[in-house]
Structure 1
């Protein structure tokens, strides 16, 4: 499966501008033969996080914001995963939603590991560790940003059979090490692909480091976006079933685990 990651520049954008950006990326990705487009954390709502802006862009999984993104997927004929502030009663979640090429909803994941004071003040942590969907013959899982820095979260997906882990992120400088080192290590140690789509640029005192990554289970990196940039980038990679099977056969971490030794 060919996949695309959108690395996009942060800054003040309203919802129509966000849709235009996604529509452009979806059309270009589909034209290049990609079957799936992953956009960054809080694709809708954007950075820096502000309660007023989040309130305007928040909605339910079947609300107008998500419906508009799903329509872009349907028009372009490409599956899409995008971040947005999900409203559920009195709770606000940092969430990602996956739809298929016809715009039909496949899964919603709520960020479980919130990072820093701002996120803890704004969001409720999600309570489900492993969320999966079936797409293009692959089992696709989802995490968000800080989640992937916990090896237990990725290993849980590996044990549940995820082939591809989608991770929309908002990684800031100087933490480039996460994209450069941690994400490829997670893919290798848990024998799955990880697509990690980030923001770039600087706004409101925040500097996002780019470095969008597609890491393979054999220790290679399919693509690595540039550092901070003032232009959007669309990055492509292949999720190959043969590479998955070979890596899992060669590197037997999952088979050789001794979980009885790892408890608290």
Structure 2
């Protein structure tokens, strides 16, 4: 499977975000991508503040309907972040849209900082996967991937690729998350991890950029720069890393230990 990440510039742009994502999806498809990822809250902008309460839409809302049409027309699947209204509750969510299939929704388990906690409700740890292009794919959002348990839970559920829309701010520690933690999450679970950030700044935050696709051996298959809009791509081929899983059988050993405890 060919995977594309669309690192969006947060700098003011008169083009509506849904249109920017649609146009990027069309470009990604034309370049041969099977699936494209956009950042956390990509459809609203992360730094919109209290306006996020009014911008939030239900999972079956206009954003989803419009983007599903683009997915069907392009033949390229999409994962993108949006503020979700679920009854009286607001979540930071991601929608996974596939041609001819119903949407899959993931809600952020762990909120980061007072900004998010003042607006949204955390979903807590939750395991959401879907099948596409012969792969089992898991979803996380931003801060979730910094909890090793979240990635491990998806890997134990059989995920081969984990997609992480994010809004990593430009602050101390963020380069370490992007450059070191993401490859380690991939390596320690023997999975691919794709981390898709914003870049530049909006009225509230500056973003780290450095969107990347990490392989099961910890190498970065592709990485975007710290600034500017970018589209990066990589081939996702789990079979190419079978030897690494044999040499580093973390999941197999964990499963074996759990079976032994159950027998005891």
Please say whether Structure 1 and Structure 2 have the same fold, judged by a TM-score greater than 0.5.
yes
| Aligned pairs for 1:136-215 within 5 A | 136-174=133-171, 175-215=174-214
Deviation at 1:238, TM superposition (A): 1.1
Contact 2:18 2:63 in 1 (8 A): no
The residue that corresponds to 2:106 in the other structure is 109
Indicate whether 1:252 and 2:249 are aligned: yes
8 Å CA contact 1:111–1:143 kept in 2: the answer is yes
Q: 1:89 maps to which residue?
A: 87
List 4+ stretches of structure 1 deviating above 6 A: none
What runs of 5+ residues in structure 2 fail to find an aligned partner?
A: none
* Cα distance in structure 2, aligned partners of 1:151 and 1:124: 21
**Relative to 1, partners in 2 of residues 1:162 and 1:89: Cα closer, same or farther, differing over 3 Å?**
same
Q: CA 1:249/1:106 → structure 2, altered by over 3 Å: closer, same or farther?
A: farther
Shift of 1:128: 4.9
Deviations 1:127-170 (A, max 9, x none): 45210001011001000000000001000011110001010000
Quick one: structure 1 residues 111 and 199, their matched pair in 2 at CA, closer, same or farther if it must change by over 3 Å?
same
Count of matched residue positions in the alignment of Structure 1 and Structure 2: 256
Return 5+ residue gaps in structure 1 as ranges: none
Between 1:66-75 and 1:181-190, the stretch displaced more is 66-75
User: For the residues of structure 2 that align with 1:7 and 1:90, how far apart are their CA atoms?
Assistant: 31
**Does structure 1 conserve the Cα–Cα contact (< 8 Å) formed by 2:110 and 2:125?**
no
Contact 1:200 1:210 in 2 (8 A): yes
- What is the deviation of 1:204? 1.7
Q: Is the 8 A contact 2:2 2:233 kept in 1?
A: yes
The alignment's C-alpha RMSD in Å is: 1.7
Query: Mean alpha-carbon deviation: is it higher for 211-220 or for 54-63?
Result: 54-63
Alignment partners' CA distance in 1, 2:111 and 2:185: 19
Partners of 1:40 and 1:105 in 2: CA distance:
21
Equivalence for 2:4: 4
Structure 2 Cα separation of the partners of residues 141 and 126 of structure 1: 16
Whether the aligned pair in 2 keeps the contact of 1:163 and 1:193 (CA below 8 Å) is yes
Paired with 1:35 and 1:56, the residues of 2 have a C-alpha distance of 32
* CA–CA distance in structure 2, aligned partners of residues 67 and 37 of structure 1: 17
